[in-house]
Chain A
Amino acid sequence: MWPIVQAFTKFFDLLIALFQSMHPIIGLTVISILTGAVMLVVWKYTSNQKAIAAAKAKISAYILEIRLFPDDMRAQFSAQRKALLANAKYMTYAVPPLLVVLLPVVAILVQLDVRYQRKPLEPGDVTLLKVKVAEEVDLASVTLDAPAGLVMETAAMRVVAEDEVDWRLRADTPGEYDVTVNAGGTVETKRIVVGERLTKLAEFREQSNFLTIWMAPAEKPLPKGSPIQEIRLTYPEREMKLAGISLHWLLVFFVVSVLFGFAIKGVVGVEV
């Protein structure tokens, strides 16, 4: 499974690299447009287009009916009721294509999330690195080795109740660094990125399962059964501004992909 995720992630790396030198919103917009177009085509072939068209025609008709009888409240309320019922029917036709597009869209959203939700540490930023280990591991045996470019500001702090060891790290020089965790002889690394680049960021490494493979594609999961159960740190939130207004990347993705889909549905010949 991991190789597939890796390939998918690599594809996004290449795609994002094209917009590396530009404002982050440009790459996001392009990806949103592509996603909107692809999903529209998927929608076309996975939905009952005739039924959707018929349901939409009925909805339009009932809305027009409201206007046909301006003096007849009974007719108006009847038309409104029928419009709402037809709308409910339309929604049922939307379920099958929704289920089909759900998985690829979630995978795309995860790829965007690891790039646009957080930004790398900047020199001078401080973060906590937390390592969770198995119950049988002696917390005193857990050590951290940080490369040059990162500074360990504190000694290990052991939280026995949580089987957790924490360090405070400070970013010193831009770059991508692997810190090494040693827990009773088991050694694992964790990538920490310092700088301004738009790149994938993993806030944690967890033990491997289907969900972590797909939901945390930026770094390989920890092996199953490893005494190290989780390595986690916190990156700062990325803020995207357009004309002075702060926009969440999800909103940009949603609006651009949907509006583009609506804009080209006539060209592609799709009923949505």
Chain B
Amino acid sequence: MFFRHTRVLAWVVMLTAIFFCADPAEAYIGPGAGFAFLSSFMVLFVTFLLAFVSILLWPIRFVWKLIFKKRPPKTDVDRVIVVGLDGFDPNQCKKFMAEGKLPHFQKLADQGTFDELQTVFPAMSPVAWSSFATGVDPSRHNQFDFLNRDPRTYLPDLASVFIGPVSRVLNIGKYKLPLGKPVVRLLRKSQPFWKILGEYGIFSHILRVPITFPPEKHNGLLLSAMCVPDIKGSQGTFTYYTTDESEVGAATGGVRRVVKRSGNVVEGDILGPSNSMTREEEELTVPFKVTIDDAKQSAVIDYNGEKIPLKQGEYSEWIRTPFSAGLGVKVWGLVRFYIMEMGEHFKLYVSPIQIDPEKPAMPISHPTFYSIYLSKLLGSFATLGFCEDTWGLNERVIDEDAFLKQTWITHEERERMLFHSMEQVKKGFLVCRFDGTDRVQHMFQRYLMDGHPANAKLDENAYRDEIEKLYVRMDEMMGRVMDKVKDDKKTVLMVMSDHGFAHFSRGVNLNSWLVENGYMVMKDGGKTCKDWFRGVDWEKTKAYSFGLVGIYLNIKGREGQGIVEAGEEAAALRQEIKEKLEALVDPKTGAKVMNDVFKTEEIYTGPYAQNGPDLLPAFDEHYRQSWEAAVGKAEPDVIIDNVKAWSGDHCLDWRIVPGVLFSSRKLARKNPGIMDMSASILDLFGIQRPAYMLGRSFFRVDSSDAGQTEKQSPPEEREVANA
């Protein structure tokens, strides 16, 4: 608002000056000079005005802070930098460090500490990073999975954010004009520790930490990550255009479309969001035309007034895409093109359409103009929460090479942000999380296991060293980070991950198991149901499962068509299912599938425990909830091969997938956990952890850490109790 007023004021002053003050001779310049002159004048004017205002306000702000801001005691730490490498696995680290392939991580470990970082249950990014941010467990921050259920309808909702329509609209002809903003509400409870830092005047840069959408206000800057939707409102929808009709069919995570080739031209439409400004809510599109040069294996894509030259196997830059909703309103997105094939058939992959950070359709940063700033300074970047297109590879609309290129392009965008922020943060807290480490391990773990079912028709050796390359590349990046930090004694550098990785070769369909054991019944008396329980007879069903985490009982009064009485009946049913599930054996291998099955209260004691599943199976390595069960399907077989490229996972027994913690400062105790991160960082700045936090500083050995205000059992004891 202030900036807008400044611009208006600048124009008024400038035009007044020209009309009434300037000598005519001074204006003896044409429009060309005028364009340059005015633009530069504006820059000078705004820059000096802001400088003036800043200098004027600085003493007032200083006094305000002095009076009203809390002041932490002086510590020997000015700056804490946390590099988050999602899914970085301690076992892989140990192996490659032993082989001398990670010299910088080794140096960091020698200088301070390298340890496993205990994760939470379920060991998933949205859950674990929420615990990182808040210092509490899932039953206190209310994040148990990507999806949550609506117990009335048994349908899924996004667990971390509620995005609702505009409450009031004005209907004019075919248009319905919104009278207000859509509701975007963060469903994660508790508060991130950077809010507490802010109360003490400590500035924080929070880059791409999951479950920060919509962005919350705090003293600092924040760029949202996981669960930021694409422009269509989905968690990532690719579009695949092919001239091969045999390829077209249903696709998870995207759309396949047939296009016709006429001569050397292929035409199509980029499919945008539905137009919420019209009653019909028709899909907005932007046309494109590809002119193919077969001889050169290249093409020119004519799109939105731009001609984009592109070779087969190369990604385009981010292309800004305006979707016109009418009445002059445009919704801006970013896409990348990738030509998969241009031989017998033409195959074009178009990335999920990202919210353009320079013209964000909804706030993805705090302050809102922070994403604009980053985009203008560092160039366009991916904003989608899950921007590496794992479903594109699962569905084979892109191949391994295309996936890797996409992942590393995105990683480089993050790197630029990290190093830029490191330049800016001389005092305060900086955390930057990288997704690529997680995605590459998800998709290439199959090459570390002989005979993985996902590689049945592929060369098992082709990408065998891809995970090693990933670790080496992260080491190289950390080398540059450590060079920047140098031996600054007042900076504490930490590298951490939210979980590790395990093989995922067998999918367990908990719904099929429930059907087989009579806890779930189909209306047609059969064994299967379609997604989201279509065909389930709720009046005879006692339990159901969806998402990646657990089993819910169909409780009367809680579920829309519940039949199980809360209390004794539910308790007995839970015990029965738990015992049977714990005995589940994989008929193919004879191995036990679960290490444990926990009842909710065995793990969680917080106020939101009832929002989690009633039973939490802790799968052993190689096993996970199957893809079909995750979307509420039941299939004929309980355990099937996982044939998707997504072959590494961590949604299993959390005790076998801890994360990593490297710290330039030695830890004072063993067995650190991800919940301890927030208390430890507060401690480094001399701030007492709040009473509600379960996490405790691992920089203190005694039980009365800097912020000890509530008696909590130490992490070691918690673990024993939980296990």
A residues sitting closer than 8 Å to B (CB atoms) are 35-36, 39-40, 42-43, 56-77, 80, 83-84, 87, 90-91, 94, 97-98, 100-102, 105-106, 108-109, 245, 247-248, 250-251, 254-255, 257-258, 261-262, 269, 272
B35 contacts across to A, CB distance below 8 A: 40, 43, 94, 258, 261-262, 272
Q: How far is the CB of A97 from chain B (nearest CB, A)?
A: 6
Query: Quick check: B221 and A68 within 8 Å, CB to CB?
Result: yes
B40 contacts across to A, CB distance below 8 A: 87, 90-91
B residues 543-592 in Cβ contact with A at 8 Å: none
- B369 contacts A by Cβ under 8 Å: yes
- B692 contacts A by Cβ under 8 Å: no
B3, B44, B424 — which one has the most chain A CB atoms within 10 A of its CB? B424
Known interface pairs A83-B47, A87-B43. Does A68 touch B28 (Cβ–Cβ under 8 Å)?
Answer: no
Query: Once the chains are docked, how many angstroms separate the CA of A108 from the CA of B3?
Result: 37
Which of B19, B61, B372 contacts A71, CB < 8 Å? Answer: B61
Query: Quick check: A56 and B39 within 8 Å, CB to CB?
Result: yes
Query: Quick check: B54 and A66 within 8 Å, CB to CB?
Result: yes
Q: How far is the CB of A163 from chain B (nearest CB, A)?
A: 30
Query: Once the chains are docked, how many angstroms separate the CA of A90 from the CA of B29?
Result: 18
* Secondary structure of the A contact surface, majority rule: helix
A255 contacts across to B, CB distance below 8 A: 15, 18-19
Which of A43, A80, A250 contacts B32, CB < 8 Å? Answer: A43
Query: Quick check: A36 and B31 within 8 Å, CB to CB?
Result: yes
Query: Quick check: A67 and B31 within 8 Å, CB to CB?
Result: no
Which of B22, B46, B376 contacts A58, CB < 8 Å? Answer: B376
Which of B3, B32, B61, B305 contacts A269, CB < 8 Å? Answer: B305
Query: Quick check: A251 and B19 within 8 Å, CB to CB?
Result: yes
Q: How far is the CB of A123 from chain B (nearest CB, A)?
A: 28
Which of A39, A59, A73 contacts B30, CB < 8 Å? Answer: A39
Which of B19, B31, B44, B61 contacts A84, CB < 8 Å? Answer: B44
Query: Quick check: B58 and A64 within 8 Å, CB to CB?
Result: no
23 CB-based A-B contacts, threshold 8 Å? A58-B377, A61-B377, A63-B50, A64-B369, A64-B373, A65-B373, A66-B47, A66-B50, A67-B369, A68-B367, A71-B201, A73-B58, A76-B54, A84-B44, A87-B43, A87-B44, A90-B43, A105-B32, A250-B28, A251-B27, A257-B31, A258-B31, A272-B39
Q: How large is the interface on B (under 10, 10 to 19, 20 to 34, 35 or more residues)?
A: 35 or more
Query: Once the chains are docked, how many angstroms separate the CA of A66 from the CA of B372?
Result: 14
Query: Once the chains are docked, how many angstroms separate the CA of A62 from the CA of B30?
Result: 29
Using CB atoms, name the residue of chain A closest to B19.
A251
B203 contacts across to A, CB distance below 8 A: 69, 71-72
Query: Once the chains are docked, how many angstroms separate the CA of A262 from the CA of B11?
Result: 13
Query: Once the chains are docked, how many angstroms separate the CA of A84 from the CA of B61?
Result: 26
Question: Contact mask B5-34 → A, CB, 8 Å, 1/0?
Answer: 000000000010011001010011111111
Q: How far is the CB of B622 from chain A (nearest CB, A)?
A: 47
B19 contacts across to A, CB distance below 8 A: 245, 247, 251, 255
A70 contacts across to B, CB distance below 8 A: 54, 57, 61
Known interface pairs A261-B31, A262-B38. Does A80 touch B373 (Cβ–Cβ under 8 Å)?
Answer: no
- B608 contacts A by Cβ under 8 Å: no
Using CB atoms, name the residue of chain B closest to A265.
B35
B54 contacts across to A, CB distance below 8 A: 66, 70, 73, 76
A257 contacts across to B, CB distance below 8 A: 30-31, 34
Known interface pairs A84-B44, A102-B30. Does A258 touch B38 (Cβ–Cβ under 8 Å)?
Answer: yes
Query: Quick check: B376 and A254 within 8 Å, CB to CB?
Result: no
- B51 contacts A by Cβ under 8 Å: yes
B305 contacts across to A, CB distance below 8 A: 269
- B36 contacts A by Cβ under 8 Å: yes
Query: Once the chains are docked, how many angstroms separate the CA of A121 from the CA of B50?
Result: 52
Q: How far is the CB of A43 from chain B (nearest CB, A)?
A: 6
Known interface pairs A64-B376, A84-B44, A251-B18. Does A97 touch B28 (Cβ–Cβ under 8 Å)?
Answer: no
B27 contacts across to A, CB distance below 8 A: 248, 250-251, 254
Query: Once the chains are docked, how many angstroms separate the CA of A253 from the CA of B69?
Result: 55
Query: Quick check: A57 and B30 within 8 Å, CB to CB?
Result: no
- B408 contacts A by Cβ under 8 Å: no
Query: Quick check: A67 and B36 within 8 Å, CB to CB?
Result: no
B residues 408-427 in Cβ contact with A at 8 Å: 424, 426
- B65 contacts A by Cβ under 8 Å: yes
Known interface pairs A64-B372, A66-B50, A67-B50. Does A59 touch B43 (Cβ–Cβ under 8 Å)?
Answer: yes
B303 contacts across to A, CB distance below 8 A: none
B65 contacts across to A, CB distance below 8 A: 71
Known contacts A64-B369, A90-B36, A102-B33, then 19 further A-B pairs from the complex at CB < 8 Å, ordered by chain A residue: A35-B30, A39-B31, A57-B376, A58-B376, A60-B372, A68-B367, A69-B424, A72-B203, A84-B44, A87-B43, A91-B40, A94-B36, A108-B30, A254-B27, A255-B19, A257-B34, A258-B31, A261-B35, A269-B305
Query: Once the chains are docked, how many angstroms separate the CA of A30 from the CA of B128?
Result: 65
Known interface pairs A63-B43, A66-B47. Does A251 touch B38 (Cβ–Cβ under 8 Å)?
Answer: no
Query: Once the chains are docked, how many angstroms separate the CA of A243 from the CA of B47?
Result: 34
Query: Once the chains are docked, how many angstroms separate the CA of A69 from the CA of B54?
Result: 10
B370 contacts across to A, CB distance below 8 A: 68
